[in-house]
Structure 1
Amino acid sequence: MLKPKKIVEKDIDPNTIGSLALAYLGDGVYEAAIRQHLVKGGIVRPQHLQGYATHYVSAKAQAGLITKMKELNKLTAEEIAIFKRGRNANSYTHAKNTSISTYKLSTGFEAMIGYLYLSKQYDRLDNLIAWCIEQVENGENNEKRFE
């Protein structure tokens, strides 16, 4: 087990960070945004929060969202490049109850979110997350394609 050590944060170039580290960060950033949305939206019972969150943050949901973003040309060339880096990264694990291809799409989605966060593109990040929330809540995210 790794022992905690004193870590000094510094600004870094997100292009120098590995895809899986970007995805790790992006997973947390996206999850926190969804949790905030749910709590501020009145979903406060612990037993309901995880059930609602799954509609937004599951690998299947994220794969559907990133696929739709690409189909609608919602992503910049830079975002697509980061997504592809994350999608193509070699991971030694994958999500339960989902295919490897779905997991790879969701890893690319998370890498893109992590990249936007680290590169301080907060307005763009907020816009994409708001778009994702809208798609899920309007039932327009067809995650069935990824089961």
Structure 2
Amino acid sequence: MKFEYYKKLVDMMFTPDGNGGVLQRYDTVDPKTVNPLVLAYIGDAYFHLFVRGRILSYEQSKIHVLHQFSAQIVSAVWQDKAYRAIEHLLTPEEIGVYKRGRNAKSHAPRSASVAQYHSSTGFEALLGYLYLMERNERLYELSEASFQVISKTMMTEIAEKKMESCYDKGKTT
């Protein structure tokens, strides 16, 4: 972010309202008109918090392990897999929000393919939309279904790698 824009944003955000508080720029947020990348920003934050809460049932003392594991779960690769598995559960409205996020112009990181990154952006936009619409039950339902998909797929991949490892050890050289 350019320093001038950052300074403008800070100045705008911390304008006194005359009553001892901070002046708000927007009184309401209409999720139907919010930039899909902003929806993804909110959805990413929600899914991070959701996952962090869920993995506490596995580990409660090793912060570094919790951080690494949650970061892997919320990666673009795994969110793409989760979306593909839950897509059949979505309403036409939700698919429309997903597509708005997926089609938004953004730059993919090296850790995922462009298609996976755009898909995960759509997934996050959907979660952000549901959060801002205050559709909390639906948000939880889709987040939990996604977490279950990711968990089961991870377990399957780990089991397959163990089998491959056992097979490789049994080969003669």
Q: Which category describes the TM-score, using the shorter chain as reference length?
A: 0.7 to 0.9
For residue 104 of structure 1, the aligned residue among 101, 118, 142 is 118
Query: Structure 1 residues 41-50 or 15-24, which shifts more?
Result: 41-50
Contact 2:99 / 2:122 at 8 angstroms: preserved in 1?
Answer: yes
Consecutive unaligned residues in structure 2, runs of 5 or more: 15-22, 158-173
State the 1:96 CA deviation: 2.5
* 1:117 match: 131
CA pair 19-142 structure 1, distance change in 2 beyond 3 A: farther
Alignment partners' CA distance in 1, 2:66 and 2:110: 20
Q: Please tell me the residue identity of whatever aligns with 2:69.
A: Y
* 2:68 match: 51
* 2:152 match: 138
1:79 aligns with 2:94: yes
Q: Which has the larger radius of gyration?
A: 2
Consecutive unaligned residues in structure 1, runs of 5 or more: none
Contact 1:63 / 1:102 at 8 angstroms: preserved in 2?
Answer: yes
Alignment partners' CA distance in 2, 1:131 and 1:19: 22
Contact 1:135 / 1:141 at 8 angstroms: preserved in 2?
Answer: no
Alignment partners' CA distance in 2, 1:123 and 1:109: 17
Q: Scaled by the length of structure 1, what TM-score is found? A: 0.85
CA pair 65-40 structure 1, distance change in 2 beyond 3 A: same
- Spell out, residue by residue over 1:101-143, the C-alpha distance to the aligned partner (whole angstroms, 9 max, x if none): 1100000000000000000000000111111121222227989
Identical columns (%) = 32
Higher relative contact order (CA closer than 8 Å, sequence separation 6+)? 1
Alignment partners' CA distance in 2, 1:18 and 1:141: 36
Query: RMSD of aligned C-alpha atoms?
Result: 2.1
Query: Structure 1 residues 30-39 or 40-49, which shifts more?
Result: 40-49
Q: Please tell me the residue identity of whatever aligns with 1:88.
A: N
Q: Please tell me the residue identity of whatever aligns with 2:128.
A: G
Contact 1:64 / 1:141 at 8 angstroms: preserved in 2?
Answer: no
Q: Scaled by the length of structure 2, what TM-score is found? A: 0.73
CA pair 57-119 structure 1, distance change in 2 beyond 3 A: same
1:19 aligns with 2:36: yes
Alignment partners' CA distance in 2, 1:120 and 1:142: 34
Contact 1:65 / 1:141 at 8 angstroms: preserved in 2?
Answer: no
Number of residue pairs matched by the alignment: 140
Q: Please tell me the residue identity of whatever aligns with 1:63.
A: D
Contact 1:38 / 1:53 at 8 angstroms: preserved in 2?
Answer: yes
